Amino acid sequence: MSRDWLKQLQRWAPYALTPLVVVAALPAIGLGPWVTLTVAGLTMGIMLFMVASGLTLIFGLMDVLNFAHAAFVAVGAYVAVSVLRPLAGWTNEMSLTLNLAALFVALVSAAIASGALGFVFERVIIRQVYGAPLRQILITIGALTVIEQLIVALWGPQAIPLPKPAMLRGSVFIGSSSIETYRLFALCVGLAVAAAMHLFLTRTRLGLVVRAGVEDREMIQSLGYNIRRVFVGVFMAGTALAGMGGMMWGQYQAVVGSQIGDSMTILVFIILIIGGLGSVGGCFIAAILVGLTSNYVGFLAPKLALGSNILLMALILLWRPRGLFPIAEHH
Amino acid sequence: MTDAAEALLRLEGVYANIGRYRILHGVDFAARRGRVTMLLGRNGAGKTTTLRTIMGLWKARLGKIIFDGQSIAAKETPHIARLGIAYVPENMGIFGKLTVRENMLLATGRSGFARQHLDRVLESFPALRVKWESPAGSLSGGQKQMLAIGRAIIEQRRLLLIDEPTKGLSPAMVDQLVAALLRLKREHTTILLVEQNFRVAEAVGDDVAVMDEGRIIHTGDMAALSTNHGLQHRLLGLSMADSL
């Protein structure tokens, strides 16, 4: 009986972790700033999820360590800059419809550009290094540098402003708590992307193949599915999501530089490890956890802010050495 | 043992390596249509490697693998599977995070479950009906094996490759599995079955091929081998006698 209880506790504890952190932070921070920090943490987490989710599937499905993922974040952000520039009339108008239309066009363009580049990248670079982790690391780090330098050549070395649309500037107040309007928008977009991804993975045959492939690549091939073809699609989708994440992150920071993705890389890898390699659900929970922890610790103990996520990862790995929701048994 | 015309699957001089080590040294045998061919041998004889090589999971370095008249040695695994060959690996290959239904669904065609096949599987393995929406990882070892075999026969297959299905199962579960295999045999399903349990091999096998050190050292009727204790001892040694 007690063993059953323990088993259930072990099963559900990873789900309870984030709510526990949120609740525990409340008395330490106080209600007003807690609301602001919680929304900020959720927003940061959801944007990190957009970037990390593709990477976890890419790794889970084919054991590919793509350190160039940050480059697709940058490509998405820069494409958004180029698309939004001629649409400045729409973004500066005090019309929510026009603002959202401009953002929608930019978001789709960022996704298409990053996804298309991802397709070429998989064909030309990744395909040559399947099953060779060391070569993957070297070649993808090299490709990251090349793409970032190409961005500098195309858009220039200076950081470029990426202003928020008129209706999404400023803040709204919930009680005494101030919440940036753009954060609420980013949260909605991120949640919509996460929901779409969840529906795709759980309600479609292709999603089922992806989930099964992450668990056991050989068996899914033995059932007649061409995992390489599936992987190309997942790689494209992953890079497209990174591009969308780049656009959102760039606008969140209001400025875009060629190394915008690099600043996210460490956090993204921490999320992958905490969530469990190959697990999209784990990635979601880990991203939210990292976003919240960063914001809470940044407020409570600013000196610890830099190391807080590494500490969080270390603690979780001590508790669950394969992450919160490990999937890919073959790694 | 086998006329070429009757053989659904034929291996001719198949060599295969795992890394730098050569495991198969010219394997020759055939699996006849509508019959259960047992692939027996001591641990490390190369039985699992043979099944994986047929399935294309490891590539044959030399030799021919002919399935229904066409060479499949150079084909990719998904292509081989789509020819109608189902594979049940030794570790069962169950997707533990997916439900029983989802595991089954992956083995069906685009149109999903065919009623008669689904009924047949659930009739053979009623436990799967009860666990239909449960994660496959929560099933017992025997239930996972049922799921693995059920998944292999949820569509009409031309050849089943099954690797040690009774390994680690309780006697009651073995009996249930043998009953399911006998049912497949009555339906004239062509099966190539690797098995360490000689009692199971006797119960379901029509033909037998015995391997040792990566080669076939005997082929013939299973019935003849099961009555010839001297041959059993010479070919399979004490490890097989232990399982009697």
Q: What is the 3-state secondary structure (H, E, C) of A53-102?
A: HHHHHHHHHHCCCCCCHHHHHHHHHHHHHHHHCCCHHHHHCCCHHHHHHH
**Residue A52 and residue A283 in contact, taking contact as beta carbons nearer than 8 Å:** yes
Does the beta carbon of B58 lie under 8 angstroms from any beta carbon of chain A? no
What superfamily would CATH give domain B7-84+158-242?
P-loop containing nucleotide triphosphate hydrolases (3.40.50.300)
What residues does B194 pair with on adjacent strands? Answer: B39, B163
Does the beta carbon of A270 lie under 8 angstroms from any beta carbon of chain B? no
pLDDT tens by residue, B45-92: 999 999 999 999 999 999 999 999 999 999 999 999 999 999 999 999
**Is residue A306 situated within a structural domain?**
no
**Is residue A28 situated within a structural domain?**
no
Does the beta carbon of A221 lie under 8 angstroms from any beta carbon of chain B? yes
Does the beta carbon of B211 lie under 8 angstroms from any beta carbon of chain A? no
Burial, B25: exposed, middle or buried (Cβ in 10 Å; 0-12, 13-18, 19+)? middle
Least CB–CB distance from B107: residue in A215, A223, A226? A223
What is the arithmetic mean of pLDDT over A294-304? Answer: 93
What residues does A255 pair with on adjacent strands? Answer: A161
Helix axes A31-62, A2-29, angle to 10 degrees: 130
**Is residue A78 situated within a structural domain?**
yes
Strand-pair category, A255-256 with B7-18: unpaired
Chain centroid to Cα B44, Å, comes to 17
**Is residue A103 situated within a structural domain?**
yes
What is the arithmetic mean of pLDDT over A196-215? Answer: 94
Does the beta carbon of A205 lie under 8 angstroms from any beta carbon of chain B? yes
d(CA A277, CA A269): 10
Structural domain span for residue A143: 41-257
Does the beta carbon of B87 lie under 8 angstroms from any beta carbon of chain A? yes
pLDDT at site A270: 95
Residue B4 has pLDDT above 60, yes or no: no
**Is residue A170 situated within a structural domain?**
yes
Helix (H, G, I), strand (E, B) or coil at B176: helix
Helix axes A227-253, A31-62, angle to 10 degrees: 150
Interface test with B, best of A223, A230, A322, A330 (most B CBs within 10 A): A223
pLDDT at site B52: 97
Q: Do B78 and A224 touch (CB under 8 A)?
A: yes
Q: Kindly state the DSSP code that residue B136 receives in the 8-state scheme.
A: G
Interface test with B, best of A219, A225, A327 (most B CBs within 10 A): A219
Does the beta carbon of B119 lie under 8 angstroms from any beta carbon of chain A? no
What's the domain count of chain A? 1
Tokens 């239904």, residue located: B101
Secondary structure (DSSP) of A107-164: HHHHHHHHHHHHHHHHHHTGGGGTT-HHHHHHHHHHHHHHHHHHHHHHH-SS-EE-PP
Q: Where in chain B is the domain with CATH 3.40.50.300?
A: 7-84+158-242
**Is residue A106 situated within a structural domain?**
yes
Residues in CB range of A115: below 8 A, 6 or more apart: A236, A237, A239, A240, A243
Q: What is the pTM of this model?
A: 0.88
**Is residue A132 situated within a structural domain?**
yes
Least CB–CB distance from A215: residue in B55, B78, B95? B95
Residue A238: pLDDT band with limits 50, 70, 90 = very high
Residue A328: pLDDT band with limits 50, 70, 90 = low
ipTM for the whole predicted complex goes beyond 0.95:
no
